[in-house]
Amino acid sequence: MVKTTSTDVRVLVFSRTAEYRHESIEVGVAALAELFELDATEDAADVTTASLERYRAVVFLNTSGTVLDDGQRRALEAYVREGGGFVGVHCAAATEYDWPAYGELIGAWFDKHPEVQPATIRVEDPLHPATAHLPQMWERVDEWYDFRTNPRPNVNVLLSVDESTYDGGGMGVDHPLAWCRSYGRGRAFYTALGHTVGSYVEPELRGHLAGGIRWAAGLA
């Protein structure tokens, strides 16, 4: 476990991969370490009831595949339901496909994506801490995820992408990218952004992640 110190929020950053591994994981951990006090781990043994009690939020940073056993799943679900924060970044939506509670927590599972390319993002909630600093129309380069279902009926959508501004989108005119929801007494935040290495040096993306984590932690 790698430890570092930054601000007033202590988070666990979990980046275990059982399938595809993003090259941006290491720079993502480094970027979050500049924003928060954190412990970074890829060891699922750190996801226990006793361990999670030390954190205001847990960040699944580009995790993939099945990364937790049944006991670890129960610990994470109970942690959030009892008031903890959960944050999923990008490939966290391609994680734990066979665990229904995780599907509820993440909001929607990844389906497919076209090649990395520019697109225009719409800010749907300009008051949320994860989006308040962003322009209403935000142009950037990323890997634009399609999801198996549209999460909108069950979440507060923060960002959506305009499929007319890129090639290969498959969800149509309503294509959410980032959202949040309550989960028991806790909070869950997900963003599909964060595929590329360069994402994590962008001030706008860092602000988006920082605001989402602080919101999930109950501090914003």
Q: Using one digit for the tens of pLDDT, what is the confidence trace for 137-158?
A: 999 999 999 999 999 999 999 9
CB 87 within 8 A of CB 216: yes
Q: How confident is the model at residue 9 (pLDDT cuts 50, 70, 90)?
A: confident
Q: Please compute the mean of the pLDDT values over residues 129-136 and round it to a whole number.
A: 98
What's the rounded Cα separation, in Å, for the pair 113 and 168? 7
Confidence (pLDDT) at 220: 83
What's the rounded Cα separation, in Å, for the pair 150 and 176? 7
Q: Is the pLDDT of residue 6 over 70?
A: no
Please give the full DSSP string across 46-91, using - where no structure is assigned. Answer: G-SHHHHTT-SEEEEES-BB----HHHHHHHHHHHHTT-EEEEEGG
End-to-end CA distance of the chain: 28
The Cα-based distances of 78 to 39, 91, 95, 168, 212 in angstroms read 20, 22, 18, 38, 20
The domain limits of the chain are: 2-216
Share of the chain above pLDDT 90, in %: 95
The CATH class for the domain spanning 2-216 reads: alpha beta
Q: Please compute the mean of the pLDDT values over residues 185-194 and round it to a whole number.
A: 98
DSSP state of 7: S
pTM of the prediction?
Answer: 0.96
Q: Please compute the mean of the pLDDT values over residues 104-114 and round it to a whole number.
A: 98
User: What does the block give as tokens for 44?
Assistant: 């699922």
